[in-house]
Amino acid sequence: MAVIGIMSAMQEELAAVLAAMPHEHRITVAGRDFWVGHWQGHSVVVVLSRIGKVAAATTATVLLERFAVDTLVFTGVAGGLGAGVRVGDVVVANGFVQHDMDASPLFPRHEVPMYGRARFEADAELALQLAKASAQVLADAALHLGAGTLADFQLHAPRMHQGLVISGDRFVSASAESQVLRQALPEALAVEMEGAAVAQVCHDFGVPFAAVRTISDRADDTAHTDFQRFIREVASRYSLAIVSRWLSRRQPA
Closest approach of ligand ADE to the CB of residue 193, in Å:
5
The DSSP-derived string for 196-215 is HHHHHHHHHHT--EEEEEEE
139 alpha carbon, distance to own chain's centre: 20
Task: Find the binder of ligand ADE among 6, 45, 77, 197 (CB under 6 A).
Answer: 77
Examine the residue annotation and report whether 13 is marked as an active-site residue of this protein.
yes
Of 93, 192, 234, 240, the residue at the interface with ligand ADE (CB under 6 A) is: 192
- The H or E element that residue 114 is part of is none
Task: Select the residue interacting with ligand ADE from 138, 219, 234, 241 (CB under 6 A).
Answer: 219
Give 13 or 192: the residue with its C-beta nearer to ligand ADE: 192
Binders of ligand ADE in range 146-185 (CB under 6 A):
171-173
**Residue of 89, 123, 177, 217 with catalytic role:** 217
Instruction: State the angle between helix axes of 53-66 and 195-205 in degrees (0 to 180), rounded to the nearest 10.
Output: 30
DSSP-based three-state secondary structure for 240:
helix
110-137 in b/e form (b: 16+ CB < 10 A) is bbbeeeeebbbbbbeebbebbbbbbeeb
Which CB sits closer to ligand ADE, 123 or 177?
A: 177
User: Is 194 assigned a catalytic role?
Assistant: no
The binding site for ligand ADE (CB under 6 A) comprises 77-79, 171-173, 191-193, 216-217, 219, 223
